[in-house]
Amino acid sequence: MSRDYRLYLRDIAAEAAFVEQQTADVTFEEFAADEVRLKAILLSLAVIGEAANHVPDAIRKQQPEIPWVEIVGVRNIIIHGYFALNLPIVWDIVTNEIPSLRQSIRVLLDSPTDKEVM
């Protein structure tokens, strides 16, 4: 049995909310120095990427401004290229991309579910 795509969207929204919560009122220096927070955020970004990979193309096309391929790519770098992580880029994703991703995912979650998904 296949998992409903809306569950993946909820996973993305929940992880994005966690990332925002954990980085609110935190400077880059504090973020980079806090190993536990950093690892938690990286896990959340990996989960977001994995979930995004399971969102059907028909749903992705409803929000083309979401950089779906790049989100999955970030997951792949975290999992497979962890030794080459660039913390300023991770910080940029966390502070500049996650809030808009969360809003766009909310639009998808609030949209009617009667559309056929392939």
For the segment 7-35, the average pLDDT, to the nearest whole number, is 97
**Which segment of 5-19, 55-69, 104-118 scores lowest on mean pLDDT?**
104-118
Cβ(45)–Cβ(85) under 8 Å? no
Name the active-site residue from 10, 54, 60, 80: 80
Please say if 3 is a catalytic residue. Answer: no
- Residue-wise pLDDT tens digits, 54-77: 999 999 999 999 999 999 999 999
Please say if 75 is a catalytic residue. Answer: yes
Name the active-site residue from 3, 6, 60, 75: 75
Q: pTM value?
A: 0.92
- In the chain, domain spans: 30-109
